[in-house]
Amino acid sequence: MSTFGPDTLPLGVFRRGDEQPRVGAALGEQVIDLTSLGLSDTFAQPTLNAFLALGRPAWTAIRAELLELVRSDAVEPHLIPQSAVTMLLPFEVADYVDFYASEQHATNLGRLFRPDAEPLLPNWKHLPVGYHGRAGTVVASGTDIVRPSGQRKAPDAAVPTYGPSQRLDIEVELGYVVGSPSTLGKPVPVEDFREHVYGVVLVNDWSARDIQGWEYVPLGPFLGKSFATSISPWVVSLDALEAATVPLPKQDPQVLPYLDSPDLVNYDITFEVRINGHLVSTPPYRDIYWSPAQMLAHMTVNGASVRTGDLYASGTVSGTERDQLGSLIELTKAGREPITVDGKDYTFLQDGDEVSITARAGDLDLGEVTGRITSAVS
Protein backbone atom coordinates (compact mmCIF):
# COMPACT_ATOMS: atom_id res chain seq x y z
CA MET A 1 0.00 0.00 0.00
CA SER A 2 1.33 3.43 -0.97
CA THR A 3 1.27 6.21 1.60
CA PHE A 4 1.39 9.40 -0.44
CA GLY A 5 1.93 12.69 1.36
CA PRO A 6 -0.40 15.71 1.14
CA ASP A 7 1.73 17.42 -1.52
CA THR A 8 1.67 14.47 -3.90
CA LEU A 9 -2.06 13.80 -4.42
CA PRO A 10 -1.71 11.36 -7.32
CA LEU A 11 -4.85 10.44 -9.23
CA GLY A 12 -6.20 6.96 -9.92
CA VAL A 13 -9.38 5.02 -10.57
CA PHE A 14 -10.93 2.90 -7.84
CA ARG A 15 -13.96 0.74 -7.17
CA ARG A 16 -15.52 0.08 -3.79
CA GLY A 17 -17.60 -3.09 -3.70
CA ASP A 18 -20.19 -3.08 -6.48
CA GLU A 19 -20.08 0.70 -6.91
CA GLN A 20 -19.17 2.29 -10.23
CA PRO A 21 -15.46 3.00 -10.84
CA ARG A 22 -14.50 6.63 -10.34
CA VAL A 23 -11.50 8.91 -9.85
CA GLY A 24 -9.81 9.40 -6.51
CA ALA A 25 -6.67 10.98 -5.11
CA ALA A 26 -4.36 9.20 -2.69
CA LEU A 27 -3.66 10.75 0.71
CA GLY A 28 -1.70 8.71 3.21
CA GLU A 29 -3.44 5.34 3.43
CA GLN A 30 -6.73 6.87 2.28
CA VAL A 31 -8.42 7.58 -1.04
CA ILE A 32 -10.18 10.91 -1.50
CA ASP A 33 -13.41 10.27 -3.40
CA LEU A 34 -13.28 13.22 -5.79
CA THR A 35 -16.74 12.82 -7.27
CA SER A 36 -18.53 14.88 -4.62
CA LEU A 37 -16.03 17.72 -4.17
CA GLY A 38 -17.27 19.73 -7.14
CA LEU A 39 -13.83 20.11 -8.69
CA SER A 40 -14.60 18.52 -12.07
CA ASP A 41 -17.36 16.44 -13.64
CA THR A 42 -14.62 14.28 -15.21
CA PHE A 43 -13.96 12.61 -11.85
CA ALA A 44 -17.20 10.61 -12.14
CA GLN A 45 -15.72 8.71 -15.09
CA PRO A 46 -14.27 5.15 -15.00
CA THR A 47 -10.95 6.36 -16.42
CA LEU A 48 -8.78 9.47 -16.15
CA ASN A 49 -8.98 10.17 -19.88
CA ALA A 50 -11.66 12.88 -19.68
CA PHE A 51 -9.67 14.69 -17.00
CA LEU A 52 -6.42 14.29 -18.93
CA ALA A 53 -8.04 15.85 -21.99
CA LEU A 54 -8.75 19.09 -20.08
CA GLY A 55 -5.16 20.30 -20.53
CA ARG A 56 -2.54 21.92 -18.36
CA PRO A 57 -4.37 25.08 -17.21
CA ALA A 58 -7.19 22.90 -15.84
CA TRP A 59 -4.78 20.33 -14.36
CA THR A 60 -2.91 23.05 -12.45
CA ALA A 61 -6.06 24.86 -11.29
CA ILE A 62 -7.80 21.69 -10.07
CA ARG A 63 -4.68 20.51 -8.26
CA ALA A 64 -4.40 23.89 -6.51
CA GLU A 65 -8.04 23.67 -5.38
CA LEU A 66 -7.54 20.13 -4.12
CA LEU A 67 -4.43 21.15 -2.19
CA GLU A 68 -6.42 23.89 -0.47
CA LEU A 69 -9.17 21.45 0.48
CA VAL A 70 -6.63 18.99 1.89
CA ARG A 71 -4.92 21.68 3.95
CA SER A 72 -8.26 22.81 5.39
CA ASP A 73 -9.31 19.24 6.25
CA ALA A 74 -12.41 19.70 4.06
CA VAL A 75 -11.74 16.30 2.46
CA GLU A 76 -12.24 14.37 5.72
CA PRO A 77 -15.84 13.31 4.94
CA HIS A 78 -14.70 12.05 1.53
CA LEU A 79 -11.93 9.68 2.68
CA ILE A 80 -12.05 5.93 2.09
CA PRO A 81 -9.37 3.50 3.34
CA GLN A 82 -7.20 2.20 0.49
CA SER A 83 -7.71 -1.25 1.98
CA ALA A 84 -11.44 -0.98 1.21
CA VAL A 85 -11.09 -0.30 -2.53
CA THR A 86 -9.81 -2.04 -5.64
CA MET A 87 -7.49 0.01 -7.82
CA LEU A 88 -8.02 -0.26 -11.58
CA LEU A 89 -6.09 0.69 -14.69
CA PRO A 90 -5.95 4.48 -14.25
CA PHE A 91 -6.48 5.47 -17.88
CA GLU A 92 -7.40 3.88 -21.17
CA VAL A 93 -4.12 3.51 -23.02
CA ALA A 94 -4.36 4.93 -26.54
CA ASP A 95 -0.87 4.12 -27.81
CA TYR A 96 2.25 2.76 -26.14
CA VAL A 97 5.85 3.57 -27.07
CA ASP A 98 8.89 2.20 -25.27
CA PHE A 99 12.27 3.90 -25.43
CA TYR A 100 15.85 2.79 -24.69
CA ALA A 101 17.01 5.93 -22.90
CA SER A 102 19.49 4.65 -20.30
CA GLU A 103 23.07 4.73 -21.57
CA GLN A 104 24.17 2.26 -18.92
CA HIS A 105 21.45 -0.25 -19.82
CA ALA A 106 22.12 0.06 -23.55
CA THR A 107 25.85 -0.33 -22.92
CA ASN A 108 25.36 -3.39 -20.73
CA LEU A 109 23.19 -5.14 -23.31
CA GLY A 110 25.56 -4.17 -26.11
CA ARG A 111 28.43 -5.83 -24.25
CA LEU A 112 26.35 -8.95 -23.64
CA PHE A 113 25.07 -9.28 -27.21
CA ARG A 114 28.04 -7.86 -29.16
CA PRO A 115 31.14 -8.55 -27.03
CA ASP A 116 33.55 -7.95 -29.92
CA ALA A 117 32.02 -4.64 -31.07
CA GLU A 118 31.22 -1.20 -29.72
CA PRO A 119 28.40 -1.62 -27.18
CA LEU A 120 26.39 1.37 -28.45
CA LEU A 121 25.24 1.35 -32.06
CA PRO A 122 26.12 4.47 -34.13
CA ASN A 123 22.66 6.06 -33.87
CA TRP A 124 22.21 5.72 -30.09
CA LYS A 125 23.63 9.12 -29.01
CA HIS A 126 21.96 10.97 -31.88
CA LEU A 127 18.33 10.03 -31.22
CA PRO A 128 16.19 8.40 -28.54
CA VAL A 129 15.83 4.83 -29.82
CA GLY A 130 12.36 3.34 -29.31
CA TYR A 131 9.65 1.07 -30.67
CA HIS A 132 5.85 1.01 -30.74
CA GLY A 133 4.42 -1.48 -28.24
CA ARG A 134 0.98 -2.99 -27.74
CA ALA A 135 -1.43 -0.72 -25.85
CA GLY A 136 -3.99 -3.48 -25.34
CA THR A 137 -1.68 -5.49 -23.09
CA VAL A 138 -0.84 -2.67 -20.68
CA VAL A 139 -2.35 -3.92 -17.41
CA ALA A 140 -2.99 -2.59 -13.93
CA SER A 141 -0.60 -3.31 -11.09
CA GLY A 142 -1.49 -6.58 -9.37
CA THR A 143 -2.61 -8.34 -12.55
CA ASP A 144 -1.16 -11.85 -12.80
CA ILE A 145 1.33 -12.28 -15.65
CA VAL A 146 0.88 -15.48 -17.63
CA ARG A 147 4.23 -16.89 -18.75
CA PRO A 148 4.33 -16.39 -22.52
CA SER A 149 5.08 -19.13 -25.02
CA GLY A 150 6.75 -18.72 -28.38
CA GLN A 151 9.64 -19.69 -30.60
CA ARG A 152 13.09 -19.94 -29.02
CA LYS A 153 16.38 -21.00 -30.58
CA ALA A 154 19.40 -21.94 -28.51
CA PRO A 155 22.76 -20.76 -29.95
CA ASP A 156 23.88 -24.36 -30.58
CA ALA A 157 20.55 -25.55 -32.00
CA ALA A 158 19.94 -26.04 -35.72
CA VAL A 159 16.24 -25.10 -35.62
CA PRO A 160 13.92 -23.25 -33.23
CA THR A 161 11.55 -24.89 -30.78
CA TYR A 162 8.21 -23.76 -29.35
CA GLY A 163 7.30 -23.58 -25.68
CA PRO A 164 7.06 -21.44 -22.54
CA SER A 165 9.73 -18.77 -22.13
CA GLN A 166 12.57 -19.94 -19.88
CA ARG A 167 14.16 -16.49 -19.61
CA LEU A 168 11.33 -14.30 -18.34
CA ASP A 169 12.60 -10.92 -17.19
CA ILE A 170 11.61 -7.57 -15.74
CA GLU A 171 12.35 -4.04 -16.93
CA VAL A 172 12.24 -1.16 -14.46
CA GLU A 173 10.92 1.93 -16.24
CA LEU A 174 9.30 5.33 -15.75
CA GLY A 175 6.22 5.96 -17.89
CA TYR A 176 4.89 9.32 -19.09
CA VAL A 177 1.14 9.85 -19.48
CA VAL A 178 -0.04 12.15 -22.29
CA GLY A 179 -3.06 14.35 -21.62
CA SER A 180 -3.37 17.03 -24.30
CA PRO A 181 -3.26 15.63 -27.83
CA SER A 182 -1.23 17.09 -30.67
CA THR A 183 -2.09 17.73 -34.31
CA LEU A 184 -1.24 15.17 -36.99
CA GLY A 185 1.55 16.53 -39.14
CA LYS A 186 2.78 18.99 -36.49
CA PRO A 187 5.79 17.94 -34.36
CA VAL A 188 5.78 18.67 -30.63
CA PRO A 189 8.87 20.77 -29.74
CA VAL A 190 10.85 19.94 -26.59
CA GLU A 191 9.65 23.21 -25.03
CA ASP A 192 6.02 21.97 -25.13
CA PHE A 193 6.59 18.78 -23.10
CA ARG A 194 4.66 20.03 -20.06
CA GLU A 195 1.74 21.19 -22.20
CA HIS A 196 1.10 17.62 -23.33
CA VAL A 197 2.28 15.33 -20.51
CA TYR A 198 0.26 15.21 -17.30
CA GLY A 199 2.40 12.95 -15.14
CA VAL A 200 4.17 9.65 -14.56
CA VAL A 201 3.53 6.04 -13.61
CA LEU A 202 5.88 3.22 -12.68
CA VAL A 203 6.30 0.60 -15.39
CA ASN A 204 7.41 -3.03 -15.44
CA ASP A 205 7.83 -4.01 -19.09
CA TRP A 206 7.95 -7.80 -18.74
CA SER A 207 10.28 -9.35 -21.32
CA ALA A 208 10.76 -12.90 -22.62
CA ARG A 209 14.45 -12.76 -23.47
CA ASP A 210 14.64 -16.10 -25.30
CA ILE A 211 11.67 -15.25 -27.53
CA GLN A 212 13.04 -11.73 -28.03
CA GLY A 213 16.54 -12.95 -28.89
CA TRP A 214 15.34 -15.15 -31.75
CA GLU A 215 12.76 -12.77 -33.25
CA TYR A 216 14.20 -9.26 -32.94
CA VAL A 217 16.47 -9.24 -36.03
CA PRO A 218 15.84 -7.29 -38.25
CA LEU A 219 12.75 -5.39 -37.03
CA GLY A 220 13.17 -5.31 -33.25
CA PRO A 221 10.98 -6.31 -30.28
CA PHE A 222 7.69 -8.09 -30.99
CA LEU A 223 6.19 -11.10 -29.16
CA GLY A 224 8.90 -11.13 -26.52
CA LYS A 225 7.54 -7.81 -25.26
CA SER A 226 3.87 -7.55 -26.22
CA PHE A 227 2.31 -10.07 -23.81
CA ALA A 228 2.10 -7.72 -20.77
CA THR A 229 3.30 -4.37 -19.45
CA SER A 230 2.29 -3.46 -15.87
CA ILE A 231 1.78 0.10 -14.65
CA SER A 232 1.19 1.54 -11.19
CA PRO A 233 -2.38 2.56 -10.29
CA TRP A 234 -1.58 6.15 -9.26
CA VAL A 235 -0.52 8.86 -11.73
CA VAL A 236 1.80 11.42 -10.12
CA SER A 237 1.57 14.83 -11.77
CA LEU A 238 4.54 16.71 -13.18
CA ASP A 239 3.55 19.54 -10.82
CA ALA A 240 4.14 17.25 -7.83
CA LEU A 241 7.47 16.14 -9.32
CA GLU A 242 8.72 19.68 -9.87
CA ALA A 243 10.94 19.65 -6.77
CA ALA A 244 12.67 16.49 -8.01
CA THR A 245 13.94 17.93 -11.30
CA VAL A 246 17.68 17.82 -12.00
CA PRO A 247 19.70 19.05 -14.99
CA LEU A 248 20.05 16.66 -17.91
CA PRO A 249 23.51 15.04 -17.98
CA LYS A 250 25.81 16.42 -20.67
CA GLN A 251 25.09 14.92 -24.09
CA ASP A 252 28.05 14.31 -26.40
CA PRO A 253 27.97 14.63 -29.39
CA GLN A 254 25.74 17.69 -29.64
CA VAL A 255 22.19 16.70 -30.52
CA LEU A 256 20.33 18.08 -33.53
CA PRO A 257 18.39 21.34 -32.99
CA TYR A 258 14.94 19.72 -32.66
CA LEU A 259 16.23 17.78 -29.63
CA ASP A 260 18.11 20.67 -28.06
CA SER A 261 17.05 23.14 -25.37
CA PRO A 262 18.81 24.81 -22.43
CA ASP A 263 15.92 23.82 -20.14
CA LEU A 264 16.01 20.02 -20.50
CA VAL A 265 15.64 18.18 -17.19
CA ASN A 266 15.52 14.71 -15.69
CA TYR A 267 14.03 13.58 -12.38
CA ASP A 268 15.96 12.50 -9.29
CA ILE A 269 14.15 9.21 -8.69
CA THR A 270 15.38 5.97 -7.13
CA PHE A 271 13.59 2.68 -7.72
CA GLU A 272 13.60 -0.41 -5.50
CA VAL A 273 13.07 -3.86 -7.02
CA ARG A 274 11.95 -6.77 -4.88
CA ILE A 275 11.44 -10.39 -5.88
CA ASN A 276 9.29 -12.31 -3.39
CA GLY A 277 9.90 -9.53 -0.89
CA HIS A 278 13.71 -9.52 -1.20
CA LEU A 279 15.47 -6.35 -2.39
CA VAL A 280 17.59 -7.09 -5.47
CA SER A 281 18.26 -3.69 -7.07
CA THR A 282 17.97 0.10 -6.64
CA PRO A 283 18.15 1.67 -10.14
CA PRO A 284 18.63 5.49 -10.25
CA TYR A 285 16.78 7.56 -12.84
CA ARG A 286 18.63 10.87 -12.49
CA ASP A 287 21.47 9.95 -14.90
CA ILE A 288 19.28 8.68 -17.74
CA TYR A 289 20.68 10.00 -21.03
CA TRP A 290 17.55 11.11 -22.91
CA SER A 291 15.05 13.44 -21.25
CA PRO A 292 11.28 12.86 -21.47
CA ALA A 293 10.92 16.07 -23.49
CA GLN A 294 13.40 14.75 -26.07
CA MET A 295 11.56 11.42 -26.24
CA LEU A 296 8.29 13.22 -26.96
CA ALA A 297 9.90 15.52 -29.54
CA HIS A 298 11.52 12.61 -31.37
CA MET A 299 8.32 10.53 -31.24
CA THR A 300 6.47 13.29 -33.11
CA VAL A 301 9.18 14.84 -35.29
CA ASN A 302 7.91 12.96 -38.36
CA GLY A 303 4.44 14.42 -37.84
CA ALA A 304 3.04 11.55 -35.78
CA SER A 305 0.44 12.83 -33.33
CA VAL A 306 -0.05 11.96 -29.68
CA ARG A 307 -3.48 11.31 -28.19
CA THR A 308 -5.03 11.59 -24.76
CA GLY A 309 -4.06 8.44 -22.89
CA ASP A 310 -0.84 7.77 -24.79
CA LEU A 311 1.86 6.17 -22.67
CA TYR A 312 5.55 6.32 -23.43
CA ALA A 313 8.20 4.78 -21.22
CA SER A 314 11.89 5.36 -20.62
CA GLY A 315 13.11 1.84 -21.24
CA THR A 316 15.05 -0.03 -18.58
CA VAL A 317 16.67 2.21 -15.97
CA SER A 318 20.14 1.06 -14.86
CA GLY A 319 22.98 2.62 -12.93
CA THR A 320 26.71 1.95 -12.93
CA GLU A 321 26.82 -0.49 -10.00
CA ARG A 322 25.79 -4.15 -9.91
CA ASP A 323 23.01 -3.42 -7.42
CA GLN A 324 21.62 -0.62 -9.62
CA LEU A 325 20.68 -2.67 -12.67
CA GLY A 326 17.05 -2.67 -13.80
CA SER A 327 16.73 -6.09 -15.45
CA LEU A 328 17.67 -9.67 -14.59
CA ILE A 329 19.54 -10.12 -17.87
CA GLU A 330 21.97 -7.45 -16.63
CA LEU A 331 21.99 -8.52 -12.98
CA THR A 332 22.87 -12.13 -13.92
CA LYS A 333 25.00 -11.44 -17.04
CA ALA A 334 22.43 -13.20 -19.23
CA GLY A 335 22.07 -16.01 -16.70
CA ARG A 336 25.78 -16.78 -16.44
CA GLU A 337 26.26 -15.21 -13.00
CA PRO A 338 23.24 -15.90 -10.74
CA ILE A 339 22.29 -13.48 -8.00
CA THR A 340 21.21 -14.59 -4.54
CA VAL A 341 17.51 -14.30 -3.66
CA ASP A 342 16.41 -15.70 -0.29
CA GLY A 343 19.65 -17.66 0.00
CA LYS A 344 19.32 -19.34 -3.42
CA ASP A 345 20.97 -18.84 -6.80
CA TYR A 346 18.63 -17.01 -9.13
CA THR A 347 18.66 -16.08 -12.82
CA PHE A 348 15.26 -15.49 -14.46
CA LEU A 349 11.68 -15.41 -13.14
CA GLN A 350 10.02 -18.62 -11.95
CA ASP A 351 6.31 -19.43 -11.77
CA GLY A 352 4.86 -18.03 -8.57
CA ASP A 353 7.42 -15.23 -8.26
CA GLU A 354 6.04 -11.84 -7.29
CA VAL A 355 7.87 -8.72 -8.43
CA SER A 356 7.38 -5.36 -6.74
CA ILE A 357 8.84 -2.09 -8.02
CA THR A 358 8.59 1.04 -5.88
CA ALA A 359 10.13 4.47 -6.34
CA ARG A 360 10.78 7.69 -4.47
CA ALA A 361 11.87 11.16 -5.50
CA GLY A 362 13.40 12.41 -2.27
CA ASP A 363 10.52 12.41 0.23
CA LEU A 364 7.97 11.96 -2.57
CA ASP A 365 6.44 8.50 -2.82
CA LEU A 366 5.76 7.45 -6.43
CA GLY A 367 3.84 4.31 -5.58
CA GLU A 368 4.26 0.65 -6.50
CA VAL A 369 3.72 -1.69 -9.44
CA THR A 370 3.45 -5.42 -8.79
CA GLY A 371 2.84 -8.63 -10.72
CA ARG A 372 2.96 -12.37 -10.07
CA ILE A 373 4.06 -14.95 -12.62
CA THR A 374 1.63 -17.78 -13.39
CA SER A 375 2.22 -20.88 -15.50
CA ALA A 376 2.03 -20.77 -19.28
CA VAL A 377 -1.28 -21.74 -20.88
CA SER A 378 -0.97 -25.20 -22.39
Model pLDDT, residue 1: 62
Give residue-wise pLDDT tens across range 149-166.
999 999 899 999 999 999
Q: With pLDDT > 70 as the criterion, what percentage of the chain qualifies?
A: 100
* pLDDT score, position 113: 87
Residue 2 has pLDDT above 90, yes or no: no
Whether 233 and 357 have beta carbons less than 8 Å apart is answered as no
pLDDT score at 35: 97
- Using alpha carbons, list the distances in angstroms from residue 74 to 8, 14, 58, 84: 17, 21, 21, 21
Give me the pLDDT at residue 268, please: 98
DSSP reduced 3-state for 80: strand
Instruction: Give residue 287's pLDDT band: very low, low, confident or very high (50, 70, 90).
Output: very high
Spatial CA neighbour of 99 closest among 314, 326, 316, 327? 314
Tell me whether the omega of the peptide bond preceding residue 253 falls within 30 degrees of 0, making it cis: yes
Kindly give the pairing relationship between strand 86-87 and strand 11-15: antiparallel
Lowest-confidence pick of 1-10, 119-128, 152-161: 1-10
In tens, the pLDDT along 78-105 reads: 999 999 999 999 999 999 999 999 999 9
- Output the pLDDT for position 333: 96
SS3 194: helix
- The stretch 42-49 carries a mean pLDDT of 98
Instruction: Tell me the pLDDT tens digit for each residue of 10-26.
Output: 999 999 999 999 999 99
Quick: pLDDT tens for 24-42.
999 999 999 999 899 999 9
Q: List pLDDT tens digits, range 360-375.
A: 999 999 999 999 999 9
- Per-residue pLDDT tens over the stretch 246-260: 999 999 999 999 999
Q: pLDDT tens digits, residue range 127-152?
A: 999 999 999 999 999 999 999 999 99
pLDDT in tens, 317-373: 999 999 999 999 999 999 999 999 999 999 999 999 999 999 999 999 999 999 999
pTM equals: 0.97
Question: First-to-last CA distance in the chain?
Answer: 34
Q: Which domains does the chain have, with CATH numbers?
A: 11-87 (2.30.30.230), 96-374 (3.90.850.10)
Q: What residues act catalytically? A: 105
